[in-house]
Structure 1
Amino acid sequence: MQTVTDKAVPETVRREIEARLDSIEQTHDVRILLAVESGSRAWGFPSPDSDYDVRFLYVRSRRWYLSLKSGRDVIESPIEDEIDLNGWDIRKALGLLLKSNAVVGEWIESPIRYRPDHPVVAKLSALADRAMDMRAMAHHYASLGRNAADRWLKDGGDVPVKKYFHALRPALAIRCLRLHPGVRPPMNLQALVERCALPEAVQDEIAALVEAKRQSNERSNATRIAALDVLIRDELSRAGEVVAREVNSDADTQAEQLFLELVDI
């Protein structure tokens, strides 16, 4: 994917993010391979006060990886002007991908890019398709959803709209994994809805909730919607139904080769 101009990111903010990414490369002596939005703006349900959750993958020089003492494998910047930048070293990202961690795959699928992708990103995406166990991914989403739902799903009170979405998106990801075996689910809510074969009335409820969040702040409460509560509760309990897939036995070797190609440059 190439850099995308998106209404969710004003041009002035985009330019500031791009400048900060340039600064990170110079300050930390790294090459950024992927830089995307990975928060409510990319998920498709932003609020006016949503942060810009910028996530990136980077690679260091070969010499850094040969040091006897392992260095820190993340780069984090303080949140300034609602911009939150956080990056992972490619070796960390590859290790997590091989453990079926869904985060790297989501970053790859983000609809909002802050830079053109390095060519290695396409190889990362193909590796994710081969290496990730979909049932393990479903259990990851079930854990996310249950943590977000916490106690509110059991009672009848209002709930912060942000928490509603943080339970709904994982629930839809599980549904997508059940209906489309072997295919990684999209990270964006609207793309998930399209794949999930939901009743039209439920789709309308989700669209109305997205619009309500678009006009409120992150902590505003949402009126409970019975159909969505049922959907969330049901799908979070069905992660075990996702078809387990035999992971490509050469995935470790392919990841190692990809890493060596990068650090040999």
Structure 2
Amino acid sequence: MTAVDVPGLREVVAEQPYRLLFATVSGAHLYGFPSADSDVDLRGVHLLPADEVIGLRHGPETLERMWLRDGVELDLVTHDLLKFVRLLLRPNGYVLEQLLSPLVVQTSDAHAELAGHAAGCITRRHAHHYRGFAHTQWQLFGRNNELKPLLYTFRALLTGINLMRTGVIEADLSVLVESLDGPSFLPELIAAKAAGEHLTLTGGPSPEQLWQTYEQWLAELVAAQEKSTLPEQPSAEPQLHDFVVRLRLTA
């Protein structure tokens, strides 16, 4: 996993208008294949004070900002706690990855408590999230022939398979390739992408090989979902309800 400038990013999150329960790095840095010119995807949860929730003037459920800082493009998105928890209770792999990202910029006791409920939010239905994301990225690769969507495709498939088999979120493609005996051409493509965010595929596996490999790992994900012992529905809703109420009342 490529290092990021955590001290510099802490300065960024300190400038945010609401209390942050956590801020982590997602995207290509988390997935293990950032490029020299990759932006930094900061994701987190802010906590709206009670008077911006129960009154007539509601605070922002989502805050988004994209800007350049010291030559690096930053993409910051935070959700209010209630919205984030609602997303967490859906089969949404993105928010699970953000919550559990090891690239932590800011944390808190509330972050640790929320992460402790993550296992109770994971279900067999998360396979649909990863299949859908892989399909979208595969179509994008078919249009632009860039390494980025190709790597995103296989990252989604392997993350989904690993989740169905183990109940554990692992987002780093290099780790997944090794643990799942993934496609042998991926390490070379990961290394190639380091040179640029929008490089096209040159050489490497043929279109036929890529298609066959995509179909193979898509079938693996379907099979992993069918065999998975994960529950159909999340079990953590009561605990998360109490968690949201308690934090809101102390905001």
- Taking structure 2 as the reference length, the TM-score comes to 0.85
Amino acid at match of 1:236: L
Aligned to 1:49: 37
Would the alpha carbon gap of residues 152 and 17 (structure 1) be closer, same or farther in structure 2, given more than 3 Å must change? closer
| Residue of structure 2 aligned with 1:132, choices 108, 122, 131 | 122
Structure 1 CA distance for aligned equivalents of residues 137 and 234 of structure 2? 32
Structure 2 CA distance for aligned equivalents of residues 7 and 218 of structure 1? 14
Aligned to 1:148: 137
- 1:192 is aligned to 2:173: no
- 1:235 is aligned to 2:203: no
Deviations 1:145-193 (A, max 9, x none): 110010656xxx982111111101011123213433xx03312212323
Deviations 1:52-104 (A, max 9, x none): 11111111212222124543201111322311111111111100111121111
Give the unaligned 5+ runs of structure 2. Answer: none
Give yes or no for contact 1:47–1:217 (8 Å, CA) kept in 2: yes
Give the unaligned 5+ runs of structure 1. Answer: 1-5
Aligned to 1:99: 90
Structure 2 CA distance for aligned equivalents of residues 9 and 248 of structure 1? 33
Structure-to-structure mapping, 1:207-226, within 5 angstroms: 207-214=187-194, 216-222=195-201, 223-225=203-205
Amino acid at match of 2:198: R
Q: Secondary structure at the match of 2:78?
A: strand
Deviations 1:19-53 (A, max 9, x none): 221111xxx2x211111111111210011100011
Instruction: State the identity as a percent.
Output: 25
Structure 1 CA distance for aligned equivalents of residues 188 and 48 of structure 2? 45
Structure 1 CA distance for aligned equivalents of residues 19 and 140 of structure 2? 43
Give yes or no for contact 1:139–1:239 (8 Å, CA) kept in 2: no
Structure-to-structure mapping, 1:76-91, within 5 angstroms: 76-81=64-69, 82-91=73-82
CA offset at residue 225 of structure 1?
2.1
Give yes or no for contact 1:146–1:236 (8 Å, CA) kept in 2: no
Give yes or no for contact 1:109–1:186 (8 Å, CA) kept in 2: no
Structure 2 CA distance for aligned equivalents of residues 262 and 85 of structure 1? 23
Would the alpha carbon gap of residues 257 and 194 (structure 1) be closer, same or farther in structure 2, given more than 3 Å must change? farther
CA RMSD of aligned residues (A): 2.4
Aligned to 1:122: 112
Paired residue total: 240
Would the alpha carbon gap of residues 43 and 54 (structure 1) be closer, same or farther in structure 2, given more than 3 Å must change? same
Give yes or no for contact 1:37–1:52 (8 Å, CA) kept in 2: yes
- 1:17 is aligned to 2:3: no
